[in-house]
Structure 1
Amino acid sequence: METGQVLEGVAASCSPEHHLSVSLGPFTGFISREETALGIAEGSTREIAILSRVGKPVCFTVIGIEETEQGVRPILSRRAAQRQALDNMLAQLRPGQIIPVTVTHLEPFGAFVDVGCGVPSLIGVENISVSRIPHPAARFQVGQELLAAVLDLDPAQGRIYLTHKELLGTWAENAARFQPGMTVPGIVRGVKDYGVFVELAPNLSGLAERDPRLIDGARVSVYIKAILPHRMKIKLLVIDQLPPDPRPRPLEYFVREGRLEHWKYAPDGCVKVGMETSFGD
């Protein structure tokens, strides 16, 4: 308590008033609702942020000690630990820096992640991968450990903005793993009048001829007819439909550490303008 050291324990239960009881060595600590998370007192954080911690580790500092009929009870603050961690991150992180995160919650608009000590951030669905997905659950699972790049920092609002797609490789990096004549599995990510887009990797899709049997999300095997870097295009032929697999595909990172300054998806000499991300200071 005197040093303000951040500790960790498991949230044992949540009371009807949304106070948390936390295992702390031989003691059972108490975190009042207002101290359970940043934004709870102000109403900017939802109550699910408290309820979802039961049975999981939480970080906290000891802010007081009280005597009860059952003995000594430490008074804890998760909010203070989060504030301390967030202040340190905002002071040390830079745009483009690659950090580890853990998925905590999935919504149609993006994936909420823990960047450390329970500090939340969001990876918008448009920043998860180049290949468009209907829901973050098509790419991530709750509890999954990921890498992400800092997109921007807002010290005034105490927010860290993240992106993910830049770590999954450029068009050329992904296309280098395939050759014309190969037959590989893929996932249908868009059915159009002029053809069907099939995802070969999270940051790479090709186009096959229209097939009325196919729907978004269907797994298929495809024959690679041609790879055209100057047009950033892969021509495919659907061979067969495959059984569904509810698990997200394993992620392969082309960048795992350090700091990005600029990322360009399209290959050099391509007539198409692809995605680009500039990470400022």
Structure 2
Amino acid sequence: MEFYPEGHRIETTQNRLRTASLFALAEAAKSQDILEGKAVVCDAAHNLIVELGEGLRGIIPREEGALGIREGATRDIAIISRVNKPVCFVVTGFETRDGAVMPVLSRRAAQQRCSDEWLCRLAPGDVIDARITHLEPFGAFADIGCGIASLLPIDAISISRISHPRDRFSVGQKIRAVVRARDSEGRIALSHKELLGTWLENAAAFSPGETVAGIIRSVEPYGIFIELAPNLAGLAEPKGTVQCGQAASVYIKSLIPSRMKVKLILIEGFSSPAFPMPFSYFDPGAHIDRWRYSPPDCEKVIESVF
């Protein structure tokens, strides 16, 4: 069994077949397959009603809505916030409501399996798939399997500093992430910047003499920091009135690997805000032990050790 962020299975052929009829759901109950459906209602008792096959709906009782609900360690918002979104579950039984048979489902059981069979095996440095679930000023939360959330602190999102995670991510976005650490309670923290390339890898896409697009990330008395890529920013001299978050066009004066410096000239800052800069991953494989951002001959060392 492979475990994925919620939403991965819902449109697959196998999931559609396994949720298409009461007979198929009964077979899934025997095999305890993890399936997905769309939560369409959270009733007054905080039970989730889940849309399955055509004309079929199932129910996730409140205590089965997420790990920790039964014990009081997880708030009911973890259930309420799933409405109009995919939810994973295993089929635990059937009950009759208003003369109709309704499958009884458990999201908690699916999450427990994910925790026991997948998340407990993860070690710092492992590279995994995740999906952004919500954004806070201090970081992004990402689903790392069956709706189990993990924190990606803002300082671990990219080398180029951002004012808010929304500068880099959007809710629902699929990302890759690195397991940063696991605390005493088993909660996993993530990192992301190690997948966006080193200084040299990013700088290789630019050349002195070019005029390129950028995003203004910081305005200081001594200069303006402008992002060229999520893991590469340069400094331009102060010019006019510009604001953080604006798009800009910049001329590249020089690239200095030994000092990790990119010298820029700000051509123009635009009044409209910039869209999040697209990013691509530099494939590190399935695991990273050590990642060094700095060029080999640079005195300043920026690295991650897992």
Q: TM-score, normalised by structure 1?
A: 0.92
Q: 1:197 aligns to what?
A: 225
Q: Is the 8 A contact 1:35 1:79 kept in 2?
A: yes
- The one of 125, 147, 172 equivalent to 2:200 is 172
Q: Is the 8 A contact 2:245 2:274 kept in 1?
A: no
2:158 aligned with 1:158, yes or no?
no
Alpha-carbon shift at residue 178 of structure 1 (Å): 0.9
Q: Is the 8 A contact 2:246 2:274 kept in 1?
A: no
Alpha-carbon shift at residue 17 of structure 1 (Å): 2.2
- CA distance, structure 2, for counterparts of residue 36 and residue 159 of structure 1: 19
- The one of 64, 68, 71 equivalent to 2:100 is 71
The count of residues paired between Structure 1 and Structure 2 equals 277
- The one of 37, 40, 45 equivalent to 2:69 is 40
Per-residue CA deviations over 1:45-97 (Å, capped at 9, x if unaligned) read 34332222122221111223223333222221101101111211234323212
- CA distance, structure 2, for counterparts of residue 114 and residue 268 of structure 1: 35
- The one of 223, 235, 239 equivalent to 1:211 is 239
Per-residue CA deviations over 1:161-200 (Å, capped at 9, x if unaligned) read 2110000011111111111111111111111121111111
Q: 1:18 aligns to what?
A: 46
- CA distance, structure 2, for counterparts of residue 224 and residue 48 of structure 1: 48
Q: Is the 8 A contact 1:147 1:256 kept in 2?
A: no
Q: 2:213 aligns to what?
A: 185
Q: Is the 8 A contact 2:195 2:281 kept in 1?
A: yes
Per-residue CA deviations over 1:74-125 (Å, capped at 9, x if unaligned) read 2211011011112112343232121111111111111111112112111111
Q: How does 1:231-242 map to 2 (within 5 A)?
A: 231-242=259-270
Per-residue CA deviations over 1:202-223 (Å, capped at 9, x if unaligned) read 1111011112411111111111
Alpha-carbon shift at residue 243 of structure 1 (Å): 5.1
2:35 aligned with 1:7, yes or no?
yes
Q: Is the 8 A contact 1:220 1:241 kept in 2?
A: yes
- The one of 106, 114, 138 equivalent to 1:109 is 138
2:251 aligned with 1:251, yes or no?
no
- The one of 45, 60, 63 equivalent to 2:89 is 60
- Tell me whether 136-145 or 58-67 shows the greater mean CA deviation: 58-67
2:175 aligned with 1:146, yes or no?
yes
- CA distance, structure 2, for counterparts of residue 186 and residue 236 of structure 1: 10
- CA distance, structure 2, for counterparts of residue 86 and residue 207 of structure 1: 45
2:291 aligned with 1:278, yes or no?
no
Per-residue CA deviations over 1:19-50 (Å, capped at 9, x if unaligned) read 10112335421112221112333444343322
- The one of 74, 78, 84 equivalent to 1:49 is 78
Q: 1:97 aligns to what?
A: 126
- CA distance, structure 1, for counterparts of residue 71 and residue 263 of structure 2: 53
- Matched residue type, 1:195: G
Q: Is the 8 A contact 1:59 1:81 kept in 2?
A: yes
Q: Secondary structure in 2 aligned to 1:199? A: strand
Per-residue CA deviations over 1:109-164 (Å, capped at 9, x if unaligned) read 1111111211211111111001111100000011111111111234x523222110
Q: Secondary structure in 1 aligned to 2:31? A: coil
Q: Is the 8 A contact 2:126 2:179 kept in 1?
A: yes
- CA distance, structure 2, for counterparts of residue 210 and residue 246 of structure 1: 19
2:251 aligned with 1:223, yes or no?
yes
Q: Is the 8 A contact 2:215 2:274 kept in 1?
A: no
- CA distance, structure 2, for counterparts of residue 243 and residue 214 of structure 1: 8
- CA distance, structure 1, for counterparts of residue 202 and residue 239 of structure 2: 25
Q: Secondary structure in 1 aligned to 2:119? A: helix
Per-residue CA deviations over 1:214-256 (Å, capped at 9, x if unaligned) read 1111111111111111111111110112353553221111126
- CA distance, structure 1, for counterparts of residue 246 and residue 276 of structure 2: 13
Distance 1:76 1:146, change over 3 A: same
Q: Is the 8 A contact 1:29 1:75 kept in 2?
A: yes
- Matched residue type, 2:254: A
Q: Is the 8 A contact 2:247 2:274 kept in 1?
A: no
Q: 2:15 aligns to what?
A: none
Q: TM-score, normalised by structure 2?
A: 0.85
